[in-house]
Amino acid sequence: MSYAYDFMIEQFGEEVAKMFFQETGKQLASGAAELALSPQMQAAGQALMYVYYVYLAYVVFTLLVNIVYACTEEEMDLATKRDLLSTHYLGSYCKTKVLGACIEKRQAYCQFDSPLSRIVMEQVYMQPHMGLSWGTAKNPNCQGLAIDQIAKVNWDAVNFDEWIGILVKTGNYHDNQDFNIDALTGSGSMLNRSSETPRKNVLETNMTRFEDIDADEVRRAAYEDAHNKLQPE
């Protein structure tokens, strides 16, 4: 403390140093005057101590919240689908309140199997005659389409620009000239992992599977099985 006092006198003058330190009237063994913090510094130190304890309580509270509300497997799946552009954002809401303060805020999404299904459903929900609503963040409505609703969709109004943009950005967009059975499912597709044994396309694969199948025998067995199930016990 004596070193700090001497340093402040040297750099800023005695008046400034006395704003931070004061002599107690006692002497140390070395003969130097004993120093203590000034009343102003003691008050500031007390205030900082309060701030420290408030901050400590905040850190502990945040840690406990993170432990109690650790990510579940469903939330991990949601994060993955968000990265894959397969979610529709509905908004946020307060899930838990303590003394009027929100301590747990949740974001709500509708999840889909792919970006394409999400894009199609967003376009369908925008069509007024379908009468569909996403609901609210707290009470979402993520229902799909019933069979009778599919016929009501105005497919000419469904915009696939976003889907085409995703394909272009990821290098998966191809012109119509590139579409053939080998490019999609055979040796020219991304499914072809072996350079030594080219992948068969879906037609060749199914022909191989059917080589050892007796279609007449399968048809007869299916008929007999259905006939036996219909007989009264």
* pLDDT tens digit sequence for 85-103: 899 999 999 988 888 888 8
Task: Answer whether 88's CB lies under 8 Å from 121's CB.
Answer: yes
Closest CA to 183 of 166, 165, 202: 202
Instruction: Compute φ and ψ for 206, nearest 5 degrees.
Output: -70, -35
The reported pTM is: 0.47
Is 165 a residue whose pLDDT tops 80? yes
Q: What is the pLDDT of residue 109?
A: 93
pLDDT at 91: 93
- Residue whose token pair is 């469904």: 158
The model's pLDDT over 192-225, given as tens digits with 9 standing for 90+, comes to 777 778 888 888 888 887 787 887 888 888 888 8
Q: What is the mean pLDDT of residues 158-162?
A: 90
Host H or E run for residue 53: helix 39-68
Q: Give the separation between CA 6 and CA 14, rounded to whole angstroms.
A: 9
More confident of the two residues 135 and 71: 135
For residues 158 and 51, the model is more confident at 158
What was the pLDDT predicted at 9? Answer: 60
pLDDT tens-digit map of 112-156: 988 999 999 999 999 999 999 999 999 999 988 888 888 899 989
